[in-house]
Chain A
Amino acid sequence: MIRLEKLNKSYPMADAPVHVLRDLDLFVAEGEYAAIMGSSGSGKSTLLNVLGLLDRYDSGSYTLGDTLIRDVSEREAARLRNQYIGFVFQSFHLLPFKTATENVALPLYYAGVPRRRRNELALQMLERVGLRERADHLPNQLSGGQKQRVAIARALVTKPRLVLADEPTGALDSQTSNDIMDLLASVNADGMTVLVVTHEHDVAAKMRRVIHLVDGRIASDRIQVPS
């Protein structure tokens, strides 16, 4: 699914460029369920952004599926994101003026799916995350956990092969966090590759693989039995 070889990424700064990802080698197989951990500033979000085609890298290579990601146009990147990748964010990023259904259906709009079909799929997805009865609610009528469920439904609605979540439980209490992680685990059980950036050991403990970043390098990469 994902293959990184000697991948480097730095941000040009006034005095010296900040070297954020250093010679990363990483292979993630289809269907994996992995946590990316590391202290603040270790490059977790940057890695996720590169994997999610939201950011470019400087050298090395990144292959997503069969596609070598290098010099892809913004347009092409948008298409790949829409088709292959679902994003989940710490602060949900639902559009406040759209109902749950409309939020979930939005990626399908950019995929060119007709309206009726969009709504069908969005409702199915809401059903899947247990929020069928909140379909017509606006985000500010939902709890944090419910918002994240809607966001996950949105990430899943195009049936992507890769789900990238950057601290999806960062804004939630521990009970709600557990629910969300259970949901992501079930998503993974359906066959999607799921990568979750997290600070929380409880969260990482539920995953089958934990990749540890220190200063932009992989310090450890363990396979474990989920708790």
Chain B
Amino acid sequence: MSLDAWQELFERLDRSRLRTGLTMFSVAWGILMLVMLLAAGRGLENNVRWQFRDDAINSIWLWPGRTAVPWEGHPVGRALSFDNDDIDAIRAMPDVGALTGRFRIWDDFAISWGDRRGDFSVRAVHPDHQVLEGTVITSGRYIDDLDLAEKRKVAVIGDEVSSQLFRGEDPIGERIAIGGITYTVVGVFFDDGGPGETELIYVPITTAQLAYGGGRRVHQIMFTVGDMTVAQSEALTDQVRGQLARAHDFDPDDARALRVRNNLEQFQQVNQMFEWIGAFVWVVGVGTVLAGAVGVSNILLVSVKERTAELGLRKAIGATPGSLVAMVLQEAVVLTSVAGYAGLVLGVALVEIVAASLPENEYVRDPSVDLGVLGAAVVLLVVLGTLAGLVPALRAASIDPINALRDG
């Protein structure tokens, strides 16, 4: 585009300032809305991902239930329980990743260090529990296989426990009492899962089974499944279900006998929901932007119509149809991209401000717009601008100078 073309364009825009302003506003508004919607969608998504953050997403959790279907002479309503053999059997299955049991200590034990006391939950687990729960060791170590084999009385305490009992002193190597039994603290951990997840003490499952009369009992089993698809994870779940049904004599189709939570499936569902929300946002956003582009197309049509005589004259004195097409397209592209860019900048700025001043809440987290999306939006604008200009441009090019210049 020559300097002259630009100058003509600016003069023209200046002459129809109000109309130009309103049209540009509608395009800018469209893009602004698109940016805000995308950021809001991203904020919702971030929030849900954040809620999933501390546990392994690819995990399957199992609890024993009560039978609800008669099976080989056994009555219904029979309470089931897991034991160490189940752990071993599942560990032996291919594709099972990290695996842990949990043994719950029901008694409300007082927990003390010297004369300081506190009220904390205790989980008796296998070493792989660290992977499943996303536990981060901040000092010392986690529970290991040797602890289990030797039924050592060792404990890994949450940093909340550490600060309440030890108040800044180094807890490693100190001895704490859990229900009258003394454990040596070997590690301190942090967990993303919120304050409740660090007011916890982990001990070896074998130690707890022995110390608190659990025998070989296991209250809950959790394992990871690698990078399986949901379908694969469901197949594996069925296999595990079959194994447990054989071991404990219940109908493998009895959903009440064995309670299963497949996090992969849940995560997938949430993901799917966000794909829908994302698609919805695009449809609404692009619709808004499209409305802006249609607006541009419209005012250019009006403008071409108003300028029929001018365009006819230009043709008579030597303007080619191509030069008129270029003139109108230039206007369309400039209008949409300048307005769109303004909307984009404004939108991003607004998102930044909102993100910075947003209080911690349950619904959105870190609303943001990524550069790829912004790039796509800019390309979309130029394409839309061109499309918006096409109809009026062709109309301009097809003006018949004789009609346009008819006297009187």
Chain B stretch 388-408: residues in CB contact (< 8 A) with chain A: 401-402, 405, 407-408
- Give the residue of A79, A95, A106, A167 whose beta carbon is less than 8 angstroms from that of B407: A167
Closest Cβ–Cβ distance, residue B388 to chain A (whole Å)? 24
Quick check: B407 and A91 within 8 Å, CB to CB?
yes
Known: A91-B408, A97-B15. A106 touches B314 (CB 8 A): yes
Closest to B398 in A: A74
Given the complex of chains A and B, what is the CA–CA distance between A83 and B15 in angstroms?
31
Closest Cβ–Cβ distance, residue B284 to chain A (whole Å)? 40
Which chain A positions have C-beta within 8 A of B15? Answer: 97
Which chain B positions have C-beta within 8 A of A78? Answer: 315, 318-321
- Give the residue of A55, A81, A95, A167 whose beta carbon is less than 8 angstroms from that of B318: A81
B323 CB-CB contact with A under 8 Å: yes
Given the complex of chains A and B, what is the CA–CA distance between A90 and B3 in angstroms?
32
B338 CB-CB contact with A under 8 Å: no
Closest Cβ–Cβ distance, residue A42 to chain B (whole Å)? 16
Closest Cβ–Cβ distance, residue A193 to chain B (whole Å)? 18
Given the complex of chains A and B, what is the CA–CA distance between A154 and B313 in angstroms?
11
Which chain B positions have C-beta within 8 A of A81? Answer: 316-318
Chain B stretch 96-133: residues in CB contact (< 8 A) with chain A: none
Closest Cβ–Cβ distance, residue A89 to chain B (whole Å)? 6
Given the complex of chains A and B, what is the CA–CA distance between A175 and B314 in angstroms?
30
Residue from A79, A93, A158, A170 having most chain B Cβ neighbours under 10 A: A93
A145 CB-CB contact with B under 8 Å: no
Given the complex of chains A and B, what is the CA–CA distance between A54 and B407 in angstroms?
15
Interface residues as binary, A85-124 with B (CB distance below 8 Å gives 1, 0 otherwise): 0010111010101000000001101110001000000000
Quick check: A107 and B407 within 8 Å, CB to CB?
no
Interface bin, chain B: 20 to 34
Quick check: B318 and A89 within 8 Å, CB to CB?
no
Quick check: B318 and A97 within 8 Å, CB to CB?
no
Given the complex of chains A and B, what is the CA–CA distance between A209 and B321 in angstroms?
36
Quick check: A82 and B407 within 8 Å, CB to CB?
no
A49 CB-CB contact with B under 8 Å: yes
A201 CB-CB contact with B under 8 Å: no
Chain A stretch 178-220: residues in CB contact (< 8 A) with chain B: none
Quick check: A110 and B316 within 8 Å, CB to CB?
no
Given the complex of chains A and B, what is the CA–CA distance between A34 and B226 in angstroms?
95
A52 CB-CB contact with B under 8 Å: yes
Known: A87-B316, A110-B314, A166-B407. A49 touches B321 (CB 8 A): no
Given the complex of chains A and B, what is the CA–CA distance between A55 and B401 in angstroms?
9
Given the complex of chains A and B, what is the CA–CA distance between A74 and B323 in angstroms?
12
Q: How many residues of A contact B (CB 8 A)?
A: 29
Chain A stretch 40-66: residues in CB contact (< 8 A) with chain B: 49, 52, 54-55
Known: A89-B407, A93-B309. A107 touches B317 (CB 8 A): yes
Known: A54-B402, A81-B317, A82-B318. A90 touches B4 (CB 8 A): no
Given the complex of chains A and B, what is the CA–CA distance between A166 and B321 in angstroms?
24
Known: A54-B401, A93-B405. A115 touches B4 (CB 8 A): yes
Interface residues as binary, A138-174 with B (CB distance below 8 Å gives 1, 0 otherwise): 0000000000000000100010000000110010000
Which chain A positions have C-beta within 8 A of B320? Answer: 74-75, 78-79, 110
Given the complex of chains A and B, what is the CA–CA distance between A95 and B405 in angstroms?
12
Given the complex of chains A and B, what is the CA–CA distance between A78 and B311 in angstroms?
13
Quick check: A95 and B4 within 8 Å, CB to CB?
no
B11 CB-CB contact with A under 8 Å: yes
Given the complex of chains A and B, what is the CA–CA distance between A154 and B319 in angstroms?
14
Closest to B14 in A: A97
The interface of chain B, by Cβ under 8 A from chain A, is 3-4, 11, 15, 309-310, 313-323, 401-402, 405, 407-408
Sample of 24 A–B contacts (CB below 8 Å): A54-B401, A54-B402, A74-B320, A74-B321, A75-B320, A78-B315, A78-B321, A79-B318, A81-B318, A83-B318, A87-B316, A89-B405, A91-B407, A95-B310, A106-B314, A107-B318, A109-B4, A110-B314, A110-B318, A110-B319, A115-B3, A154-B317, A158-B318, A166-B407
